[in-house]
Structure 1
Amino acid sequence: MLNKPTLTDEDIASTILSDLKRVTREYATAATESVCPEIRQMFTQMLNSTLTMQGELYTIMQQNNMYNASSPVIKQEVDKQLKQYQQTQQKTSQFVQQAQAAQSPIPPNSAGTSSMPAYQ
């Protein structure tokens, strides 16, 4: 009889966790690149579901000493990065709104003048 190597629970969980991380990246890319709103929503829902599964598996692995988390980070550094991302998000939102406003047709008003601001 041959001795087959067996995988430990930790090996199996680590493999599944790696696959969930990969699938998460793929769903995020698919949602980002989807043109059809229904398809984008479907990939977003699948992404959220996969993130939930990944989080649950990570928690179980950590509780069973199967996963060593990365070294702790300084809260100030996280806060700094968060603030930078929020600023970038705000600038992006403003840019998108301006671009959409520039592309939308201008409704005529009663005075017959444009409702768009004059640029100098």
Structure 2
Amino acid sequence: MNIQPSTQTSLPEGDMAYTILSDLKRVTREYTTAATESVCPEIRQMFTELLNNTLTMQGELYDAMQQNNMYNASSPALKQELDKQLKQYQQTQQKTNQFVQQAQTAQAHIPPNSAGQSTIPAYQ
């Protein structure tokens, strides 16, 4: 039996690079989720290191693609819009911190019920 190699059409370099870049973006989202949801500090650290390495690869690939005119960056954002978004995120972070502090204070002042658990509902 004689098997002939199949004729395959390969993707142009730009398309292949874009596919890899998209995959790196997906992987960074998954590592971020894994690090965020990790309870064990060692596992969290591992996912954080994997995330940082993947972000570095993603940045290097993006730079190479942009230098070779394979990727068109979006138009620059206005500083005013960025400042507005930053302020909103900072306000959200401050409210979140206040909520966590209040919940922790309330948790510390509530005696455990008969099952040895607090009566404050747990949020996941």
Aligned equivalent of 1:113: none
What is the SS of the residue equivalent to 1:93?
A: helix
How many residue pairs get matched?
A: 106
- 1:7-86, aligned counterparts within 5 Å? 7-86=11-90
- CA 11–86 in structure 1, closer or farther in 2 if over 3 Å, else same: same
Structure 1 unpaired stretches of 5+: 106-120
Deviation of the 1:6 alpha carbon: 2.2
Aligned equivalent of 1:115: none
Amino acid paired to 1:10: G
Partner Cα distance (1:101, 1:37) in 2: 24
Residue-by-residue CA offset, 1:42-90 (whole Å, 9 max, x unaligned): 1111111111111111111111110011222221111100111112112
1:95 equivalent in alignment to 2:99: yes
Partner Cα distance (1:10, 1:102) in 2: 56
- CA 47–2 in structure 1, closer or farther in 2 if over 3 Å, else same: closer
Partner Cα distance (1:2, 1:42) in 2: 41
Q: Which TM-score applies when normalising by structure 1?
A: 0.76
Structure 2 unpaired stretches of 5+: 110-124
Amino acid paired to 1:70: S
Percent of paired sites with the same residue: 77
Residue-by-residue CA offset, 1:66-117 (whole Å, 9 max, x unaligned): 0011222221111100111112112222322333344348xxxxxxxxxxxx
Partner Cα distance (1:2, 1:49) in 2: 36
Q: Which TM-score applies when normalising by structure 2?
A: 0.73
Runs of 4+ in 1 over 6 A off after TM superposition: none
CA RMSD, aligned part only? 2.2
